[in-house]
Amino acid sequence: MNDLYIQNNLVCRSSEIWKNKALFFKSEENDDLKAFLKKAYQYIEMDYPKFFKMDNLSKLAILNFEILIQNEKIQDPALVFANSNSSLDTDQKFQKSTATFASPALFVYTLPNIMLGEISIKHTLRSENIFLISKEFNPSLYTQYVSQLFQDKNISETVCGWVDLHNSEYDVLLCRITRNGEVKFTEENLQKLYDQPHE
């Protein structure tokens, strides 16, 4: 456990993306989620047409993942993600579609781990995946699972993610965990990153 470190971190809330505690991108305050996501996509020149087919949760995950690892070489990171509201945002949209014509393109996004699939496809990651649900952000979920992963397997890094969306409020924390660095991978440090004030 002592030899794991938080390498990079990213926080995305209310039209702002902060990478390693510095403001990376900000769109208009009254932009809705769709507009915010599109502007950020254009800002990083992502050029990935599949992006527009994704639901908002997957867009949040893949876009912020791109920013987290921008200009860096990743080594098949395991993905350990969690949230509170599962895929409820898209569940509600799919449920509405069933009144007339159930939409297969919505149904496929009614699982929260689809985010992990989208990230894996974009970066050809055949790594370990898990998606957990917790009422609130809970750093112990990550520290427990990740330290066991590193013990067991030939894993060189992990990306931990909290990607939550409810009633158009979104809340994202991503952390890249590696075997060397300065900030130790502890519950306290994760919680601090999650709580970081952005003024």
**Binding track over 16-45 against another protein, x by CB under 8 A:** ------------------------------
Pairing of strands 169-178, 183-184: unpaired
107 binds another protein (CB under 8 A): yes
Residue 161 beta carbon to another protein: minimum distance, rounded to whole angstroms: 13
Comparing CB distances to another protein, the nearer of 144 and 189 is 144
Q: Which of residues 82-101 bind another protein (CB under 8 A)?
A: 84-86, 88, 91-92, 94-95, 98, 100-101
Regarding 56 and contact with another protein (CB under 8 A), the answer is no
Roughly what angle, to the nearest 10 degrees, separates helices 56-69 and 33-43? 30
- DSSP bridge pairs for 175: 9, 160
Measured from the CB atom, is 95 or 196 closer to another protein?
95
Q: Is 75 exposed, middle or buried (0-12, 13-18, 19+ CB in 10 A)?
A: exposed
Which position among 138, 159, 162, 163 is part of the footprint of another protein (CB under 8 A)? 138
Query: How many residues line the site for another protein (CB under 8 A)?
Result: 53
Under rule CB under 8 A, residue 73 binds another protein: no
Q: By CB under 8 A, is residue 187 in contact with another protein?
A: no
Q: How far apart are CA 53 and CA 122, in angstroms?
A: 14
- Should residue 141 be labelled a site residue for another protein when binding is judged by CB under 8 A? yes
Q: Both tokens of residue 137?
A: 């952000």
Query: Does residue 113 belong to the site contacting another protein (CB under 8 A)?
Result: yes
Give the shortest CB-177-to-another protein separation in angstroms. Answer: 16
Q: Which two tokens stand for residue 79?
A: 């993905």
With beta carbons less than 8 A apart as the criterion, state whether 8 and 175 touch. Answer: yes
Binding residues for another protein, rule: CB under 8 A, are 49, 52-53, 79, 84-86, 88, 91-92, 94-95, 98, 100-105, 107-108, 110-118, 120-121, 123-135, 138, 141, 144-145, 147-148, 152-153
